[in-house]
Amino acid sequence: MRVAVVGATGAVGRTILQILDERAFPLDDLVAFASARSEGVRLGFRDDEVVVRALHDRWFEGVDLALTSAGGAVARQILPAAAAAGTVCVDNSSAFRMDRDVPVVIPEINPEALDGHKGIVANGNCTAITALMALGPLHKRFGLRLLVTSSYQSVSGSGMKGVRELAEQVDKLHEQIETLTRPDPQALPAGEVFGRTIAFNVVPHAERFDPEGSGFTTEELKMGNEVRKVLGIPDLVCSATAVRVPVVAGHAVSIYGRFESPVSPKEAREVLSRAAGLRVVDDPARDQYPTPLDAAGLDDVLVGRVRQPDGDDRALLLFAVGDNLRKGAALNAVQIAELLIER
């Protein structure tokens, strides 16, 4: 099998290469593509190196499976022709997620969605995947009817440029900590990636604001759209808030869900503890709860702070955290590829 990784020099692409190696993914040949400026870059893979090639019009010739992380605009340009030529494409961008003929797949939640795919399979949004890893088993048992989320997203969600901007701003401001109680706006470092200073701050703006004027960002709209599609609940009422936080890796999601059936926190923990790819970290008496640093580098999504609002036995509150580069992107894509091989 010949496998292509498109966008191989980006944060997700590099993590895909790492996970293909870790999981001993069965392949005979690996080719790596990126933009022309990355041509010739050497990336370690297994006990050797792969030389990055510039993406071109016929990149898919001879490629059986492509794992693509080149952004939505590029995906729209290159994947339809590749799929038509017989290359199966697992795409990390948002380009095709809402297309009727393209499944959004989380292998632990809806593997059956791969049945009858037409050559393009969409990876979910990193924050939606984190939430769905907890919501999927709960929905199967209790029936999800209402969802409200607030996500706290690390800077690596914007790629290495986001990580660099945070590091540069921390370096600039760390000797000025006392001044941040009454900062001079003109003295704060400009936020080229996030729109505002991200160091020692939180920014309630992830991606762009909805051009149709809903007041939501496109990142927030993805949550509802993808949860509805993956769980098959087209009438689910969902609202989301997405916040960028000064954390390098790991996305956290605060979840309020209301269900068709009564559910207790104890029952929820029992369901969650049996779910594949999920780890319950929930012992308040011992200060055990999940954080982004706990989840960084892990394949499992961590969930804790499971509790119930007063007077509503059909509602739950919980807190889920996942590594946005692994389960939120690269790992999920490789797991989809493994399922495709099995089928």
Active-site residue set: 126, 251
The sign one gets for the Cα dihedral 189, 194, 198, 203 is positive
- Alpha carbons 343 and 340: distance in angstroms, whole number: 5
Q: Quick one: which of 230, 239, 205 has its CA closest to 98?
A: 230
- Alpha carbons 287 and 58: distance in angstroms, whole number: 54
242's tokens: 């997405």
Q: Quick one: which of 53, 48, 66 has its CA closest to 2?
A: 66
- Alpha carbons 135 and 106: distance in angstroms, whole number: 12
Q: What is the DSSP letter of 284?
A: G
- Alpha carbons 165 and 117: distance in angstroms, whole number: 39
CB 330 within 8 A of CB 58: no
- Alpha carbons 103 and 110: distance in angstroms, whole number: 10
Provide the residue count of the chain: 343
Q: Which amino acid is at 279?
A: R
CB 82 within 8 A of CB 33: no
